[in-house]
């Protein structure tokens, strides 16, 4: 099962493509015959490479911030689907907990639960066969909870 955040992978590829295209443009600009063409290519290439580097730096800082922790995958009995718990620590503003299910070798995913920080622990998630998932969550007053099923897995959320 592949547990990749495809959105981050896509943004990283865009950042690398921007830096590479800017570098290639700067390299090719020196060989252009007309001065106006050299200036035009350099005028476009420098901001493209700079924005790509800035996007890559922002992705690195976001990834290295350490505010998000994940549990080990909890596999269904057949191993075709898996659940992972995400805890996002918001510091003084509390945080969020989400439960995500993945199937189709990790290429399809859906958020099936969200609530306040640390409202679900790995021991609270239990598979009942391959088509039903039970989540017991710590209920707090004043918070909203989100629970939904997927087309292939029925999700039942109950307060503990």
Are both 82 and 154 inside the same structural domain? yes
Cβ neighbours of residue 73 closer than 8 Å, sequence gap 6 or more: 1, 3, 82, 83, 84
pLDDT in tens, 68-126: 788 889 999 998 899 999 988 777 767 889 999 988 877 788 999 999 988 999 999 99
The whole domain housing 51 covers 6-64
Are both 151 and 95 inside the same structural domain? yes
Are both 108 and 132 inside the same structural domain? yes
Domain count, the chain: 2
pLDDT in tens, 47-60: 999 999 998 888 87
| pLDDT value of position 120 | 93
Are both 146 and 72 inside the same structural domain? yes
Are both 20 and 53 inside the same structural domain? yes
| pLDDT value of position 44 | 93
Are both 48 and 103 inside the same structural domain? no
Are both 91 and 58 inside the same structural domain? no
| pLDDT value of position 2 | 65
Query: If pLDDT is split at 50, 70 and 90, which confidence band does 45 have?
Result: very high
For 43-140, strand residue ranges (E) read 68-70, 74-75, 82-89, 95-103, 108-116, 125-127, 132-137
């Amino acid at each position: 099962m592949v547990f990749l955040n495809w959105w981050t992978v896509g943004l990283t590829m865009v950042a690398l493509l921007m830096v590479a295209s800017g570098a290639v443009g700067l390299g090719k600009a020196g060989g252009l015959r007309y001065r106006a063409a050299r200036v035009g290519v350099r005028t476009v290439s420098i901001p493209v490479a700079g924005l790509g580097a800035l996007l890559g730096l922002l992705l690195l800082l976001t990834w290295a911030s350490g505010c998000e922790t994940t549990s080990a995958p909890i596999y269904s009995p057949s191993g075709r689907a898996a659940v992972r718990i995400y805890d996002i620590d918001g510091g003084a503003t509390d945080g969020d907990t989400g439960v995500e299910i993945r199937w189709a070798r990790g290429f399809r995913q859906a958020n099936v639960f969200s609530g306040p920080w640390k409202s679900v622990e790995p021991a609270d998630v239990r598979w009942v066969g391959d088509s039903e998932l039970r989540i017991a969550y710590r209920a707090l007053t004043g918070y909203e909870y989100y629970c939904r099923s997927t087309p292939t897995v029925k999700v039942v959320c109950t307060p503990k």
